[in-house]
Amino acid sequence: MSAVTATTATADTSPTTQAPVPGGGGRGTRVLKAIWGNKKAFVGTVMLAIFVLAAIVPQIFTHISSPNTKQFEQMLPPGAGHLLGTNAFGQDIWAQLVWGTRQSLFVAVVAGALASVLSIIIGVSSAYLGGIGDGLLSLLTDVFLVIPAFPLIIVIAAYAGAGGLPVVIGVLVVTGWSYGARQLRAQALSLRNREFLESARVRGERSSYVIIFEILPTMVSLIAANFLGAALYALLTAAGLQFIGLGDSSSVSWGTMLHWAQSNEALETGQQQWVIAPGLCIALLGASFALINYAFDEIGNPALRPVRRRKGRK
Amino acid sequence: MRFLLRRLGFFVITLWVALTVNFFIPRLMPGNPAEAMMSRFKGRINPEAMHALEVAFGLNTQKPLLVQYVDYLGNMFTGHFGISLTFFPQPVSKVVLQALPWTVGLVGITTVIAFLLGTLIGMVSGWRRNGVVDSVLPPVFVITSALPYFWVGLLLILFFSLGTNGALPNDGSYDPSLDPGFNLPFIADVLKHAVLPALSILIISIGGWILTMRNNVVTTLAEDYIRMARAKGIPGRKIMFGYAARNAILPNLSGFAMSLGFVVSGSILVEFTFNYPGLGYMLLNAVDNQDYPLMQALFVLITVAVLIAILICDFFTAWLDPRVRTE
């Protein structure tokens, strides 16, 4: 979805302007420090932490342990007993929301991570190989980039039958890697003739060693940004897929909640919170990815950092 | 010229990949869903059409896969997409053509508006670093670009359609009681129906253009020719439009081509949310009804539409950027 371009496109300018530090010692701590110092990244990280907490231990946010059981009176308004009321099935909306975090976050993180791994493999080896191998891999990347992913996903999901998580994650990975691969290739290309790589080659290191221990550490921030972009894409696309009823409609997730809300005409029957709440959660989780991503961009590309007005020495 | 030939080659290759993927998906799926669909429709459609379907999905045929594949490619290029099962006995191509104008009108026009508006805002934002526009808009659009398309659509329905007692319609593309044609009430009604779907697409997609354009302008402003222009005393407005924006817009244009697939993907959900009778809505209907021929034809058509738009973008880039032409 365009959200991915929106956030990761900003990194487009960075590969050429970035000045990565060779080696990589202390890079991780510096990234952490940068997140701490960047307001956008800080807000994003706090939001993400809350969702992660809800995904791991939903019990601290709600006492209801089986959110899908139709155990309450139907269509109760929001109130003391039920924070967001109950829906047309008699399920507690708040409990569904809390328990739904787990699957939505899981899909986003797993599909995002797998897609990033794929884009690292294809992007970096494309740049490293050069020549005809590079030509073919770049072509493959571009082709996957422009083929509209969602119609393809719909076609695959339709044939695979409204499927379980593996199918959903699989199609998200297949359609989600290309943008990152393109960026990583550009970044790796700009590194190719650096002296520290030259010296590794002269030392007679294997190319697998050079790629893993010399090239990858210099691209940590770009890889992280790519992961966040891919996770955001996976989150939104999975929600869309569940919304139109091509996910597992008995699962507890935000997309599925929206699906049932829409098919029960929640808006027309005055159950707005049934629609607003899960969408808002998707939006907030997505925003936390996007905010951290945006900050990584600023860390990677100094030209984009906000200009500080000098108050003495900072 | 070389640039255009290369892009044309890319167009052909991408189209071929999409068609090939489309050919193999039903054949590689476990349990052969196409067969299940066929048995559902057995007896309801005539044997001749049945046979055509069997050929299309590679069932009950002695032909080797390669021959099937060549036949399939031939059918695609001559526009023989098969027969729709939901709209039986209409051919798929005819059904699809009814939906095409709605999508092209809604998504096409909205995307162009989003691009122009977003580029303009991004330019101003990048030009006045830390100005009002720059400090407010980018964070806002970081958030909006993370919203699900369909949810924005649902919110718009809640506030502007249900909240205003139906001042703006949220269902379909025009009032069926009106006489479709080139008359004022009909056109006004079509526009009224398009407002909310268009707004959802606009809200989500504009953020990307703003951010990219802003960052491009920021990068361009560091160039020597900008400093030169300033040193020569050229008025600021002229530098902004003639020097900075003009150079910054080129990457944005290729970004436009690249993200078109995302916009189209999102608009499918918007069409679904608003029951807007375009290609996306029809695609989801086809899925619901297990109308596989229609579904696959729609996938091909949407891909072709995106590819053609990208090709137009390439021609545009070649026209705007002399470096590309002389390459």
Q: Is residue A289 part of a domain?
A: yes
B107's enclosing H/E stretch is none
Q: Is residue A127 part of a domain?
A: yes
Range of the domain at A280: 27-56+86-302
For residues B74 and B87, the model is more confident at B74
Model confidence at A15, pLDDT cuts 50, 70, 90, reads very low
Nearest by CB to B150, which of A7, A139, A240?
A240
The listed range with the strongest mean pLDDT (A11-25, A270-284, B245-259) is A270-284
Q: How many domains does chain A have?
A: 1
The percent of residues in chain B predicted with pLDDT above 70, rounded, is: 88
Q: Does B13 touch chain A (CB under 8 A)?
A: yes
Q: Is the pLDDT of residue A112 over 70?
A: yes
Contact B290 A143 (CB under 8 A): no
Q: Is residue A310 part of a domain?
A: no
pLDDT of residue A109: 94
Q: Is residue A69 part of a domain?
A: no
The C-alpha atoms of residue B246 and residue B127 are separated, in whole angstroms, by: 13
The C-alpha atoms of residue B311 and residue B137 are separated, in whole angstroms, by: 31
Least confident range of A32-41, A110-119, B239-248:
A32-41
The percent of residues in chain A predicted with pLDDT above 70, rounded, is: 81
Model confidence at B100, pLDDT cuts 50, 70, 90, reads confident
Q: Is the pLDDT of residue A312 over 60?
A: no
A267 neighbourhood in chain B, CB within 8 Å:
154, 157-158, 162
Nearest by CB to A283, which of B26, B34, B147?
B147
Hey, which residues 137-156 in chain B have their CB within 8 Å of chain A? Answer: 138-139, 141-143, 145-151, 154-155
A241 neighbourhood in chain B, CB within 8 Å:
none
Nearest Cα to B146, choosing from A179, A47, A288? A288
Model confidence at A50, pLDDT cuts 50, 70, 90, reads very high
Mutate to test the interface with B, among A10, A155, A265 (most CBs of B within 10 A): A155
In contact, A169 and A162? CB cutoff 8 Å: no
Report residue B89 CA to chain centroid gap: 28
The C-alpha atoms of residue A213 and residue B209 are separated, in whole angstroms, by: 36
CA distance, residue A158 to nearest chain B CA (Å): 6
The C-alpha atoms of residue B106 and residue B228 are separated, in whole angstroms, by: 43
Model confidence at B31, pLDDT cuts 50, 70, 90, reads low
**Distances in Å between the alpha carbon of B321 and those of B3, B117, B145, B228, B315?**
11, 21, 29, 21, 10
Mutate to test the interface with B, among A5, A42, A137 (most CBs of B within 10 A): A5
Q: Is residue A99 part of a domain?
A: yes
Hey, which residues 180-209 in chain B have their CB within 8 Å of chain A? Answer: 204-205, 207-208
Nearest by CB to B295, which of A13, A155, A306?
A155
Q: Is residue A79 part of a domain?
A: no
Residues A203-216, mean pLDDT to the nearest whole number: 83
pLDDT of residue A5: 39
**Distances in Å between the alpha carbon of B209 and those of A23, A122, B98, B137, B262?**
35, 27, 31, 12, 13
Residues A194-216, mean pLDDT to the nearest whole number: 83
Closest alpha carbon within chain B to A267: B158
Model confidence at B32, pLDDT cuts 50, 70, 90, reads low
Residues B119-140, mean pLDDT to the nearest whole number: 82
Q: Does B178 touch chain A (CB under 8 A)?
A: no
Which position has the token pair 């369909």? B150
pTM for this prediction: 0.83
Q: Is the pLDDT of residue A17 over 50?
A: no
pLDDT of residue B99: 85
Contact A151 B219 (CB under 8 A): no
Q: Is residue A255 part of a domain?
A: yes
CATH number for the domain that contains residue A37:
1.10.3720.10
pLDDT of residue A11: 38
Contact B255 A5 (CB under 8 A): yes
Residues B213-223, mean pLDDT to the nearest whole number: 86
Residues B112-121, mean pLDDT to the nearest whole number: 90
pLDDT of residue A30: 63
Nearest by CB to B261, which of A146, A262, A290?
A146
Q: Is residue A267 part of a domain?
A: yes
Least confident range of A12-16, A35-39, A298-302, B274-278:
A12-16
Closest alpha carbon within chain A to B212: A10
* DSSP conformation letters of chain A: -HHHHHHHGGGGGHHHH--PPSS-TTHHHHHHHHHHH-HHHHHHHHHHHHHHHHHH-GGGT-S-S-TTS--S-TTPPS-SSSTT-B-TTS-BHHHHHHHHHHHHHHHHHHHHHHHHHHHHHHHHHHHHH-HHHHHHHHHHHHHHHHS-HHHHHHHHHHHH-S--HHHHHHHHHHHHSHHHHHHHHHHHHHHTT-HHHHHHHHTT--HHHIIIIIIGGGGHHHHHHHHHHHHHHHHHHHHHHHHTT-S-TTS-SHHHHHHHHHHTTTTTTT-HHHHHHHHHHHHHHHHHHHHHHHHHHHHH-GGGSPPPPP-S--
